[in-house]
Amino acid sequence: MSTLTTESNLPAVIDDSATRTYWQAAAEGRLLIKRCTACCQVHFYPRPLCPFCLGDTEWMEASGAGTIYSFSKVYQADGQYTIAYVELDEGVTLLTNLVGQLEDASIGDRVNVTMQRTADGYAVPMFELGSNEAVSAGQCLDSNIGPLDSAATDSTSPSTTTTQPLAT
């Protein structure tokens, strides 16, 4: 679904019994979110109890597609990074980073998940600009469970590169 690249300055992840499933899926290029088995609402970050009704929750695989809700470029002495809120098509919002060609990035742009490798080997979901169409955000449908490769496979298509006029 996505290629792993190295971001050696990423902080270590918290890998415990509550998050291991999430990190294992991320290592396989799959982005997991959680859904309540009682009220059907999805949420992120993953929690063992639903934040809306305290019902039990289950994992579901997100499409990895969404839109930029907000972003900010952070400049440091040794480089820069772009922090962002990305709203997934499933309806949850992640605090994440944008990577890749971002000169033309705007709020509302379509993005796809791309896993970035930490120094200790974990894969962390970040997002790059994409031109994919929004997927159905239907909840509590069996078709929403499991691999959603139709949208995810677009991460390798040439359409994910943005055209940038050269300032020469």
> Does residue 42 belong to the site contacting Zn ion (CB under 5 A)?
no
Reduced to 3 states, what is the DSSP secondary structure of residue 23?
helix
Minimum Å distance from CB 63 to Zn ion?
Answer: 21
List the interface residues with Zn ion, window 121-160 (CB under 5 A): none
Angle at Cα 73 formed by Cα 67 and Cα 74, nearest 5°? 140
Under rule CB under 5 A, residue 46 binds Zn ion: no
45: three-class secondary structure by DSSP: coil
Q: Which stretch binds Zn ion (CB under 5 A): 22-30, 44-52, 72-80, 109-117?
A: 44-52
Q: Which two tokens stand for residue 20?
A: 């291991």
Minimum CB distance to Zn ion, residue 104 (Å): 38
Q: Tokens 């359409």 appear where?
A: 159
For β-strands 93-98 and 57-61, DSSP reports them as unpaired
Name the residue nearer to Zn ion (CB basis): 55 or 153.
55
Q: Which of 38, 17, 9, 32 is nearest to 99 (CA)?
A: 9
Q: Site residues for Zn ion, window 52-91 (CB under 5 A)?
A: 52-53, 55
Per rule CB under 5 A, is residue 50 in the interface with Zn ion?
A: yes
36 is a contact residue toward Zn ion (CB under 5 A): yes
The whole-angstrom separation of Cα 4 and Cα 6 is 7
Q: Smallest distance from the beta carbon of 64 to Zn ion, in angstroms? A: 23
Q: Tell the smallest beta-carbon distance from residue 41 to Zn ion (Å).
A: 5
Contact 68, 59 (CB under 8 A): no
- Binding interface with Zn ion (CB under 5 A): 36, 38-39, 50, 52-53, 55
